[in-house]
Chains A and B, each alone.
Chain A
Amino acid sequence: MEIVNPEEYEASHVHRVYENIAPHFSATRFKPWPIVERFLCDLPIGAVGLDVGCGNGKYLMVNPNVFIVGSDRSPSLIGIAHGREIQDSIVADALDLPHPDSRFDFAISIAVIHHFSSLERRRHALKSILATLKAPNNNTNGGRALIYVWALEQKNSRRGWDEGDRQDVFVPWVMSKQFSSAKAEGSHQNPQKLTYLRYYHLYRKGELETDIARAGGKLLESGYEKDNWWAICSPAR
């Protein structure tokens, strides 16, 4: 799929949607995924890292012995993350991260990269994240990033997509009544409930690994968990 202006496209089909659904979305996001939890809990005390696209900040409190700066494009979600008074959170764009290069021990980006609407932007996002990580040298492995993206191959899920299906899709978010009153702009209204459509690029098997390599990353570990592809990588330089 060729999108003429990916920035505008993501502004309408990703950013505006999250701004509108933030409280409802946040109320459904509280349980850490096991592989993410393990990655964070294995870090040494005093490790410093990033959560790029941290949403409501659910991963910021998993391990209190590390320091994480969470960032998200949605000010409403950062407002929720910040209210928890843990770690720190800022509003920022993953393609223009306000962090110095090569300073971080780790980074996570969970269910974020699949919202970029072109191959170039997805690889750019991975490159930005890799750039923040400590470079490997003779004595150390360098910083490590854990990346999660939604999989195309999920035939047993509610959505039922599988190999051979379209990879660029709109996924509806149906607002529950209790959250519907807040904001209605940009939605498809019906008398009962509001539905917002979010853009996703569903990753094929092997695609995340390829994107990481092309973004200058070295793959350390990868796998599939509950409808998602995940990978742990470090800068190759």
Chain B
Amino acid sequence: MKILTTNYLTCALRTCKSHPNSFPLHFRDAELQQDSSPFNASFIANILPRLDWSALLTTATELGFTNLPLEKPTVVDERVGMALHRILIETQVVEGKLVCRNCGHEYAIHQGIANFLLPGHLGISPLLLVWGGALAEIYV
């Protein structure tokens, strides 16, 4: 999964979406892979105004990238353009989790694919989850 994608991801739970804590999602145990792909200067220049810069800074810091300016640049020079290309397009998260800070739900990333299906989508009733959670507490 690309870092650019994480700038466009929030919690899948409807009740979380309106809450500011659900964006951006936060990485846990992220395993990164650096790919190389051709630099497309006008693509990056056009992506820039669309980015949520503060969310990107949060994500980049969590993953150890510290070379982005604190304020969103108004013009993309080559240095900023390349840095953005490297982070947004060439960095892949191959394993790990994305966590919602509002509800604590963890979305798994496996082999580069994030899975946003909720327990309800998988035919597990919420009641069973609560019951399972209670059991887990008893036996911890």
Verify if A97 is at the interface (C-beta below 8 Å from B).
Answer: yes
Give B contacts to A, CB under 8 Å: 1-2, 4-5, 8-14, 17, 23, 40, 42-47, 50, 52, 107, 111-118, 120-121, 123
State whether A90 touches B5 (Cβ < 8 A).
Answer: yes
Chain A residues, CB < 8 A from B8 = 48, 69, 99-100, 103-104
Query: Which of A11, A45, A71 meets B46, CB within 8 Å?
Result: A45
Classify the secondary structure of A's interface with B. mixed
Give A contacts to B, CB under 8 Å: 7-8, 11, 44-48, 65, 67, 69, 71, 73, 75, 78-79, 82, 88-93, 96-101, 103-105
State whether B117 touches A92 (Cβ < 8 A).
Answer: yes
Chain A residues, CB < 8 A from B116 = 71, 90-93, 96, 98
State whether A89 touches B42 (Cβ < 8 A).
Answer: no
Report A43 CB to chain B, min CB distance, Å. Answer: 11
Q: How far is the CA of A91 from the CA of B121 in the complex (A)?
A: 11
State whether A78 touches B46 (Cβ < 8 A).
Answer: no
Q: How far is the CA of A9 from the CA of B10 in the complex (A)?
A: 28
Task: Tell which of B1, B4, B107, B121 has the most Cβ of chain A within 10 Å.
Answer: B121
Chain A residues, CB < 8 A from B50 = 46, 48, 103, 105
Q: How far is the CA of A100 from the CA of B43 in the complex (A)?
A: 22
State whether B9 touches A99 (Cβ < 8 A).
Answer: yes
Chain A residues, CB < 8 A from B120 = 7
State whether A92 touches B12 (Cβ < 8 A).
Answer: yes
Report A216 CB to chain B, min CB distance, Å. Answer: 16
Q: How far is the CA of A69 from the CA of B10 in the complex (A)?
A: 13
Chain A residues, CB < 8 A from B118 = 93, 96
